[in-house]
């Protein structure tokens, strides 16, 4: 689809045509996805009437669909100059969103509402945009206005739930999610969000089935592309829901072979890989499609101990060697996991002894080698997403903590984002060998020599905890479901301690508490 110019000259033939009928036909073609027909009809209308707002609007929509976002904006601005209409501002909002211009998107929506205050889509989209900008109170007003006009708006109920969840009002969030599902039982986003509440409050038996709808788009929340499950032509295994007694499954291996698919992030893999040996109680062979940065660590920690466990680089083209499959994060449901039965024996991952010895020698060669060694991670990856903005600190925020000189600070912060690098003052207080860490096996060997790891909610925290190291997790307000609500410990990782924000976005209080705890754990001068 080519990009027409909104300023290109047009001819005006004398013969009369029914532009209204042509416009109706073009709209029907657009709704049917017949974009070439739309283009021809819009061109024909504009050849007769260069200021036909409906045809100009369609040209903008075609440009947007074709990926010509700047051209789409120009078309819409031309239409608005001729005759401002609420629907035009709604389309302009979508274009500005595509361009990442959220402030102007808010302005466009407000201009549309000034023309038609009861336009439901404008109120709802304003709520979405304000929510993305973290203006939660304003977003709540927009969603409530949406529901005043359309009380049956399932998505507005769902997003009010998201706001209340982010503000720590878990019971209110659950109420909104359940109402969203009453109105639209197939609202998979609401099902996934309800799973987050149920799991965060320890109601695993009810929560895991809802968690199976995690394969939905998160674009509403933070702009990420939708995580999609790999399509595998095998029967899906979801277990029998039996309880795990103290993390031990009865031995009843069959001759069947299970293919486990990786999903989501490295931290998720590190947390749930503990289930792979358990699966050998039900299957003679378990294959895991393993991310390359984790392969060496899992080979030395798991495969060496469990011969029936194999690591795969990708889903095999030939599936004849496998009988069933299961996504990694469905294994807790398959094993009927409850909070009291989480398989939490640790360590379940291990560093390579020789590589750990190399790091030990280097650490012991440092000045003041007697100081306690504390690893630190202050930021996660995925800088563009809302969750990362909430879970991460900027380097200047950790400077007061790094000023404590009675411990040896070891950086475990790896990032390609220059805004997350330590400043010169902080860098001088850190021992930073992260350029030499090529994968998680290298990182594990370094962590093996540390006395403590302090980390935000990222993969290094999972790695250190799985290695059996004490971990202090800097936890955002209303954090991830896996850390549960109202706890400062974790049933997933004995030895992990949570330092959770008491107010949304306030890291100063968290770091002050960590500083006090550090002096208690490692008294200065001892």
* pLDDT tens digits, one per residue of 389-429: 899 998 889 999 999 999 999 999 987 666 656 665 567 78
CATH number at residue 87: 1.25.40.10
Separation CA 362–CA 199 (nearest Å): 42
> Do 77 and 205 belong to one domain?
yes
pLDDT digits (tens, 9 = 90+) for 439-487: 999 999 999 999 999 999 999 999 999 999 999 999 999 999 999 999 9
Residue-range definition of the domain harbouring residue 365 = 353-521
DSSP code for 288 = E
> Do 267 and 371 belong to one domain?
no
> Do 209 and 157 belong to one domain?
yes
Q: For residue 496, is pLDDT > 60?
A: yes
Q: For residue 3, is pLDDT > 80?
A: no
pLDDT of residue 244: 43
239 found inside a domain? no
> Do 92 and 208 belong to one domain?
yes
Q: In what order do the strands lie in the sheet with 324-327?
A: 309-312, 285-289, 257-261, 324-327
| % residues pLDDT > 90 (the chain) | 82
CATH number at residue 409: 3.40.50.2000
pLDDT digits (tens, 9 = 90+) for 274-293: 999 999 999 999 999 999 99
- Alpha-helical (H) ranges within 323-439 are 331-334, 353-364, 386-391, 399-402, 424-428
Environment class of 202 (CB within 10 Å of its CB; exposed 0-12, middle 13-18, buried 19+): middle
Separation CA 91–CA 112 (nearest Å): 10
Q: For residue 222, is pLDDT > 50?
A: no
> Do 376 and 451 belong to one domain?
yes
Q: How many CB atoms lie within 10 A of CB 358?
A: 13
Q: Taking a C-beta distance cutoff of 8 angstroms, is the pair 494, 470 a contact?
A: no
> Do 322 and 399 belong to one domain?
no
Query: 395 versus 523: which is more confidently predicted?
Result: 523
> Do 475 and 452 belong to one domain?
yes
pLDDT of residue 60: 97
Q: For residue 377, is pLDDT > 80?
A: yes
Q: For residue 223, is pLDDT > 70?
A: no
13 found inside a domain? no
Name the domain count of the chain: 3
Q: For residue 362, is pLDDT > 70?
A: yes
Q: Taking a C-beta distance cutoff of 8 angstroms, is the pair 130, 110 a contact?
A: no
> Do 113 and 196 belong to one domain?
yes
> Do 506 and 387 belong to one domain?
yes
Confidence of residue 231 (pLDDT cuts 50, 70, 90): confident
pLDDT digits (tens, 9 = 90+) for 69-90: 999 999 999 999 999 999 999 9
241 found inside a domain? no
> Do 364 and 335 belong to one domain?
no
Stretch 352-361: mean pLDDT, rounded?
98
Separation CA 409–CA 407 (nearest Å): 6
Q: For residue 383, is pLDDT > 80?
A: no
> Do 136 and 63 belong to one domain?
yes
Q: Taking a C-beta distance cutoff of 8 angstroms, is the pair 467, 347 a contact?
A: yes
Q: For residue 14, is pLDDT > 50?
A: no
3-class SS letters over 460-493: HHHHHHHCCCCEEEEECCCCCHHHCCCCCECCCC
- Final residue in a domain of this structure, among 222, 246, 273: 222
The whole-model pTM stands at 0.89
């Amino acid at each position: 689809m080519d990009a027409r110019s909104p300023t290109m000259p047009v001819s005006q033939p004398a013969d009369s045509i029914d532009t209204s009928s042509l416009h109706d036909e073009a709209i029907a073609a657009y709704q049917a996805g017949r974009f070439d027909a739309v283009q021809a009809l819009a061109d024909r209308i504009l050849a007769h009437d260069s200021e036909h707002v409906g045809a100009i609007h369609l040209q903008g929509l075609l440009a947007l669909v074709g990926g010509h976002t700047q051209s789409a904006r120009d078309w819409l601005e031309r239409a608005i100059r001729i005759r401002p209409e609420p629907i035009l501002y709604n389309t302009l909002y979508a274009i500005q969103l595509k361009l990442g211009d959220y402030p102007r998107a808010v302005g466009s929506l407000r201009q549309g509402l000034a023309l038609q205050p009861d336009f439901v889509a404008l109120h709802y989209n304003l709520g979405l945009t304000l929510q993305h900008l973290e203006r939660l109170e304003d977003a709540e007003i927009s969603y409530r206005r949406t529901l005043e006009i359309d009380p049956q708006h399932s998505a507005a109920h769902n997003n009010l739930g998201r706001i209340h969840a982010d503000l720590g009002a878990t019971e209110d969030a659950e109420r909104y999610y359940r109402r969203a599902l009453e109105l639209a039982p197939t609202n998979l986003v609401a099902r996934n969000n309800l799973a987050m509440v149920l799991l965060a409050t320890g109601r695993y038996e009810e929560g895991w089935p809802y968690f199976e709808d995690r394969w939905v788009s998160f674009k509403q929340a933070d702009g990420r592309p939708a995580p999609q499950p790999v399509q595998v032509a095998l029967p899906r295994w979801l277990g029998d829901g039996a309880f795990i007694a103290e993390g031990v499954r009865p031995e009843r291996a069959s001759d069947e072979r299970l293919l486990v698919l990786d999903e989501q992030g490295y931290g998720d893999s590190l947390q749930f890989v503990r289930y792979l040996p358990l699966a050998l109680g039900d299957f003679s062979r378990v294959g895991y499609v393993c991310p390359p940065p984790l392969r060496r660590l899992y080979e030395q920690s798991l495969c060496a101990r469990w011969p029936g466990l194999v690591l795969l680089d990708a889903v095999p083209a030939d599936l004849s060697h496998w009988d069933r499959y299961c996504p990694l994060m469905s294994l807790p449901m398959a094993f009927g996991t409850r909070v009291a039965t989480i398989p939490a024996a640790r360590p379940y991952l291990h560093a390579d002894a020789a590589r750990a010895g190399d790091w030990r020698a280097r650490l012991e060669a440092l000045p003041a080698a007697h100081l306690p060694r504390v690893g630190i991670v202050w930021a996660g990856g995925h800088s563009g997403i809302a969750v990362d903005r909430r879970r991460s600190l900027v380097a200047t925020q950790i400077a007061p903590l790094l000023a404590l000189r009675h411990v040896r600070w070891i950086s475990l912060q790896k990032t390609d984002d220059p805004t997350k690098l330590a400043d010169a003052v902080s860098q001088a207080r850190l021992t930073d060998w992260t350029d030499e860490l090529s994968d998680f096996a290298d990182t594990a060997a370094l962590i093996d020599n540390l006395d403590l790891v302090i980390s935000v909610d990222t993969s290094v925290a999972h790695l250190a905890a799985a290695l059996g190291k004490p971990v202090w997790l800097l936890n955002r307000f209303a954090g991830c479901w896996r850390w549960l609500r109202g706890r400062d410990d974790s049933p997933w990782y004995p030895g992990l301690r949570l330092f959770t924000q008491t107010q949304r976005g306030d890291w100063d209080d968290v770091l002050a508490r960590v500083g006090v705890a550090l002096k208690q754990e490692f008294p200065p001068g001892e």
